[in-house]
Amino acid sequence: MNQRFGLSQRVATLRIVFGVIWLIDAGVKMNHVFVNEFKADFTEGSAGQPGWLHWWFHFWTRVIDSSPSTFAYITIVLETLIGLALVFGFARRSTYLIGFIFSMAIWAIPEGFGGPYSMASTDIAQGIIYALVFAALYGLDSVSTVKPAWTVDEKLERRFSWWRPVAEP
């Protein structure tokens, strides 16, 4: 076994473990409490933010007000699809980009950029960390010169030549 193939397997392991984390997160949200308190999560992120950011949080609160339960279910479905795509190695390029954008949105809206920051702050929230893991997976997949390990994409690429741009970072 050469060193590069080892990298491919390590990247695949990271991708799969991260996918399982996303599936667990989605599963935890599959309850009436998450759906019923979805809007409150958004308004909570705005508490204590600086005045120049109020427009941002008010905008998203108004968007969510139109149908909070719909947005809650969209969140659950999107997290489930991201988790499944990571576990099975399906449409990796698209999944990494969508996951990065979605993670940044989570960090910037309901998590309130991890703030407000004060002497009592203890962390910057997980959305930004998730986004960095997606960026790292994209980068690691890009530098690997060996076929990626344990992916559905590899099988689809053999069958459909047009699939490669969707799958490969």
What single DSSP character describes residue 59?
H
Contact between 48 and 115 under an 8 Å Cβ cutoff? The reply is: yes
Q: Is 124 helix (H, G, I), strand (E, B) or coil?
A: coil
- Which one has a higher pLDDT value, 46 or 109? 109
Contact between 11 and 169 under an 8 Å Cβ cutoff? The reply is: no
* Long-range own/partner contacts, residues 64-68 (CB < 8 A, 24 or more apart): 64/38, 64/39, 65/39, 68/35, 68/38, 68/39
R_g of the chain computed on alpha carbons:
18
Asked if the model's pLDDT at residue 57 lies above 50, the reply is yes
pLDDT tens profile 24-43: 999 999 999 999 999 887 77
147: left (phi over 0), alpha (psi -120 to 50) or beta: beta
Domain ranges of the chain: 3-167
In whole angstroms, give the CA distance from residue 45 to residue 36.
Answer: 16
Tell me how crowded residue 144 is: count the other CB atoms within 10 A of its CB: 19
Please give the biggest Cα pair distance in the chain.
57
pLDDT average, residue stretch 118-128: 73
Give 105-122 as a 3 state SS string.
HHHHCCCHHHCCCCCCCC
Tokens of 165: 């741009």
- Check residue 92 and give its pLDDT: 93
Q: Rounded to two decimals, what is the model's pTM?
A: 0.88
- Which one has a higher pLDDT value, 21 or 166? 21
